[in-house]
Structure 1
Amino acid sequence: MTIRKADDATTGTVTLPPAGLPSRNPTESYWLRDPSPVLLGHRGTPDLPETADVVVVGSGITGAFAARFLKEWEEGKEGEERRRVVMLEAREVCFGATGRNGGHCQPLVYGSVPAVAAFELEVFEFMERFVREEGVDCDWVSLTGVHAFFSKDMFELAAAEAEQLQQSHPELAAQLDVVRRSDSSSTSDKPTLASLRVPSAEGAIIQKKAASLWPYKLVTSILERLIAAFPAPSFNLQTNTPVTSLARANNGAGWTLTTPRGTITARQVLLATNGYTSHLLPAFSDLIVPVRGQIGALLPPTSPNPKPIPVPAKLVHSYVFAADPELGSVAPRDDYLVQRPLPEEGELIYGGGRRLARGLGVGEWRDDEVEEEVARYLRANLAPVLDLASSHSHGEGGQQLQQQGKEREEEDELEASFEWTGIMGYSRDHHAWVGAVPESLGGGGPEGGLWICAGYTGHGMPAAALSAREVVRQMMGGKMGVEETGVRLPDEFVLHEERVARARELPHLTQGWEATNFAGLIGGAGVPAGGKGM
């Protein structure tokens, strides 16, 4: 990627090239190995409609929930009152970031703006309840999240932030536990670094709200049900239909989207395009930057004790491994892990290693390549930071487990059943962009009919669902969402001209770390974003 200098540093003019279209031959994600037969190649009508009331571009978690809320808004309405909603997807359903992420849903409670932390907790609880009440088969497992720090200084900064919440926001602090090297299981039942399987860490923060899931199955369940309940033209899903350009309609009322299959004009358009947003809105090139992440599905080691049969390690937490001391702010560790349920293979879904990627992955919008150096890091790096012994105890056997961990470090790298990449949308000011696109960015404000919900900075799973509901509420004139639920979109997510100006006073994204809370942690004000949403 080539970064161009702005003509005038005071104006914040675009310095990054816009993203291209999603790759036609992407890497094969673990989550996409069993695609929905209902949705594969789905087109609600053989031809692309010429008009619609609303077009949603993108079929990931944001697009799926937005479509659901749009149709929920119409409940009880009939005939002409019902909007014709068309969803356009460049590839197959959910083949973008949501189908390529780390399988986490975890709010970031500490080191974040309190309003954002509270919102993400609301989203988590909404998602947990939604999966349960709707009977969504997506392997949702509620657990706790362990953020293990391998730099003492950075752990102390993170711990100080977590402990400061006790005074400022005790309801948030109640969601956290701080674990130090000095903590011992012999004096209390409090977890230790050894019991958390991270004995070599300098310290850890436990977040009580976390989950692992099969994100593709969550999205496909929503869309399959929409297709069944609202057949075309009420809800018309069109896959393999990339939008190549977006322009005002000739009559000025609405927008015309051009695709290889023809054009479609709609009164309102919602871009749920995340890292690809700048392809259709080049003015966002410096505000939402594509960043490529990489993940592997690793087969876990089995117990060296063969009786009765070798058993894979069973993890009861999700993990973030953060902050190597030797690299500091230049390229900090930000790796993340969940395990697939046992007694199946129990694959370890391990992502990260971006500090080894070409250009740190910044500006990369193609997900058709696996970088071997990153893949090798993911296959070989997990054992030193995580105790992968198949059983764990606080008392006897602790030394044996440590010895097994040391032996594990010397073994060959783990076998990967899948290795893939995905494109995240990194926001210049850390936060998602939700609302009407202003005229200066290519829209026309609330009356212009162009909306966006994107830019999650690798943290979309605990933010997207209710961000989608908020943007739909705005599109429908404030008729749903806040009034009924009390859930309030954080001010930090709201899209307006003043925020754009403030964001453009920040440094341009050249490494990607500037848009994560790592940048704040190094300065004493933030921590890495756990729970990757890609």
Structure 2
Amino acid sequence: MLITTMAGPFPVKNATVPYWRTQLHHLDSHRSTPELPEKQDIVIIGAGFAGAALAHYLLKDSPESEPKPSITILEAREACSGATGRNGGHIRPDLFVALAARMQAQGLETANQVALFEAANAEAVVALVRDEGIDCDLRAVTTGDVFVDAAEAAKIKKLWDAMTKLNCPTLRSVTYHGPSDAERVSGIAGAKVAFTYPAHVVWPYKLVMHLLEGAVGKGVNLQTKTTVHGVSETVDGEGYWTLATARGATRAKRVVFATNAYTAGLLPEYDDAIYAARGTVCRVVPDAPATNIPLGSAGLEMESPNSIDSYYGLRQDGSIIVGGGKSAFVDDKEEWYRNYDDSTLIESTAPYFDCWAARTFTGWKGFETETESIWTGIMGYSADSAPHTGHVPFKPGQYICAGFDGHGMPNVLLCAKGLAEIIKDGRPFSETGVPAVYETSAARLRKISELVAAPTIGRAQADIYLKF
């Protein structure tokens, strides 16, 4: 039986340490059994938000009288050590700016479906945290999208005016602030236009580890520090897929790829569709309590309608989680494009963040801040700006939940819930509530590859470079 492997996208060792991973859970490097199980009903590859949420929903509401499926989660490094454990700690459903971009690219109906789905995800996370009693510092905030360039502000204002005349349900939650009050409302120096709406900040690692702890408590076998090097091209005589690891092989009736940026390492057919973008996040600590920051989080937009340069979230201890800084490194494409190395920093971001707060907030000139910690993360970008969820084409029993485009927190939970229904109940994708544009398919992969292979003008539509 042939097992295919690729040399490229796999997690590296000795990753930089994010602030979120400074208080480690007791399951961080857990192995439920000394050896890998010989065979399982379901193997999930990846112990981030997607993998943990999948396990949670696969076992949720299972009748005690019915046998539970045997489930193993394989994680290359420690639990929640990938993109989820390295993000900015936001749950920011994009209710207008990305809505406008998607409407231009894919039409109003699809744009509305995605925006409403992101809003529903945020509500679902809040409900999950409440119902499960999860201690993860979840806090409601007012967030914003802020434009400081006059020309870009004028463009987005035209889009706003046009879209307020259309049927865009999520715009009801968004407030527009023009040149006369954008700076005051946002606290961002030089703000020309701002759009504010409800959001949350969260400690993502604590959220994921709670879900993993619950899953392990229900019998899920968690195996950390176990990189999957390849998956067999066909099932064996008993109908099992074989997964190869450095610790030996394990077999599964069903395999779920919750592998985000690393998907193409095991599913080469996704090489054009999902690929890495390296980014930076840091924790900035002011020498005095943060003042004159009206918004609990915000994204500073470089271009309209959808290109964030930097973003921040306030923590209750007075520190600020800041991410992005794309303008400092975007021209050096090798630093970030298809770069899987989160063991080193993007060098130009450290000085960028050292002065970020003083440059960004009104009344902060001369204010001292310390970049207390800084880390790198690998985002799984999608060539057509939508996650891939559902059946892996032509591989019955294989499923995917990946490619969250640097925007997983307001998307992952309900994608995982929908995929769990497909796996557990055989539910059609169309009945899961997940937007149709998120469904992975051979036709979608083929279309992406055709765009990538096309001349430069065609390729640009699928090129991550345009996201910056």
Q: Shared fold (TM-score greater than 0.5)?
A: yes
Distance 2:61 2:345 in 1: 42
CA displacement at 1:516 relative to structure 2: 9.2
Distance 1:513 1:278 in 2: 21
Does 2:141 match 1:143? yes
Residue of structure 1 in register with 2:444 after alignment: 499
Distance 1:238 1:427 in 2: 28
Residue of structure 2 in register with 1:245 after alignment: 230
Structure 2 residue corresponding to 1:468, chosen from 416, 420, 441: 416
CA displacement at 1:155 relative to structure 2: 2.1
* Superposed counterparts of 1:198-217, under 5 Å: 198-206=188-196, 208-217=197-206
CA displacement at 1:450 relative to structure 2: 0.6
Distance 1:314 1:273 in 2: 40
* Superposed counterparts of 1:36-435, under 5 Å: 36-37=25-26, 39-72=27-60, 74-78=62-66, 81-110=67-96, 111-112=98-99, 113-183=111-181, 192-206=182-196, 208-228=197-217, 230-231=218-219, 235-247=220-232, 248-251=234-237, 253-302=239-288, 311-313=289-291, 315=293, 316-323=295-302, 334-341=309-316, 344=317, 346-357=318-329, 358-359=332-333, 361-387=336-362, 404-405=363-364, 407-408=365-366, 414-435=369-390
Letter in 1 for 2:291: A
Letter in 2 for 1:213: V
Distance 1:149 1:252 in 2: 58
Letter in 2 for 1:438: P
Taking a change above 3 Å as real, the CA distance of residues 274 and 383 of structure 1, as seen in their structure-2 partners, is same
Aligned-residue Cα RMSD (Å) equals 2.7
Distance 1:516 1:21 in 2: 22
Taking a change above 3 Å as real, the CA distance of residues 516 and 220 of structure 1, as seen in their structure-2 partners, is farther
Taking a change above 3 Å as real, the CA distance of residues 263 and 73 of structure 1, as seen in their structure-2 partners, is farther
Q: What secondary structure is seen at the aligned counterpart in 2 of 1:504?
A: helix
CA displacement at 1:218 relative to structure 2: 0.2
**CA-to-aligned-CA distance 1:441-485 (integer Å, 9 cap, x gap):** xxx2xxx101101001100000000101111111124359986xx
Q: Is the 8 A contact 1:354 1:361 kept in 2?
A: no
Distance 1:143 1:152 in 2: 27
Distance 2:60 2:204 in 1: 22
CA displacement at 1:74 relative to structure 2: 2.7
Higher strand share: 2
Distance 1:120 1:425 in 2: 18
CA displacement at 1:45 relative to structure 2: 1.1
CA displacement at 1:262 relative to structure 2: 0.7
Distance 1:196 1:476 in 2: 45
Distance 1:201 1:508 in 2: 40
Q: What secondary structure is seen at the aligned counterpart in 2 of 1:169?
A: coil
Q: Is the 8 A contact 1:108 1:120 kept in 2?
A: yes
Q: Is the 8 A contact 2:299 2:308 kept in 1?
A: no
Taking a change above 3 Å as real, the CA distance of residues 321 and 376 of structure 1, as seen in their structure-2 partners, is same
Letter in 1 for 2:413: A
Distance 2:77 2:84 in 1: 13
Q: Is the 8 A contact 1:18 1:285 kept in 2?
A: no
Letter in 2 for 1:32: R
Distance 2:437 2:155 in 1: 23
Taking a change above 3 Å as real, the CA distance of residues 43 and 209 of structure 1, as seen in their structure-2 partners, is same
Letter in 2 for 1:493: Y
* Superposed counterparts of 1:432-471, under 5 Å: 432-439=387-394, 444=395, 448-471=396-419
Taking a change above 3 Å as real, the CA distance of residues 34 and 321 of structure 1, as seen in their structure-2 partners, is same
Distance 2:428 2:439 in 1: 17
Distance 1:261 1:464 in 2: 29
CA displacement at 1:30 relative to structure 2: 0.3
**CA-to-aligned-CA distance 1:253-286 (integer Å, 9 cap, x gap):** 2311111111001000000000010111122111
Q: What secondary structure is seen at the aligned counterpart in 2 of 1:193?
A: helix
Letter in 2 for 1:197: G
CA displacement at 1:353 relative to structure 2: 1.6
Distance 2:221 2:167 in 1: 45
Q: Alignment length, in residue pairs?
A: 443
Taking a change above 3 Å as real, the CA distance of residues 369 and 144 of structure 1, as seen in their structure-2 partners, is same
Q: What secondary structure is seen at the aligned counterpart in 1 of 2:286?
A: coil
Q: What secondary structure is seen at the aligned counterpart in 1 of 2:11?
A: coil
Runs of 5+ unmatched residues, structure 2: 1-5, 100-110
Runs of 5+ unmatched residues, structure 1: 1-16, 184-191, 303-310, 388-403, 521-527, 529-534
Distance 2:195 2:259 in 1: 32
Taking a change above 3 Å as real, the CA distance of residues 42 and 415 of structure 1, as seen in their structure-2 partners, is same
CA displacement at 1:157 relative to structure 2: 2.7
Distance 2:428 2:120 in 1: 16
Letter in 2 for 1:313: T
CA displacement at 1:517 relative to structure 2: 10
Q: What secondary structure is seen at the aligned counterpart in 2 of 1:221?
A: helix
Distance 1:217 1:514 in 2: 37
Distance 1:491 1:333 in 2: 26
Question: Larger C-alpha radius of gyration, 1 or 2?
Answer: 1
Letter in 2 for 1:369: T
**CA-to-aligned-CA distance 1:173-211 (integer Å, 9 cap, x gap):** 10111111134xxxxxxxx422320240221111x2211
CA displacement at 1:322 relative to structure 2: 1.1
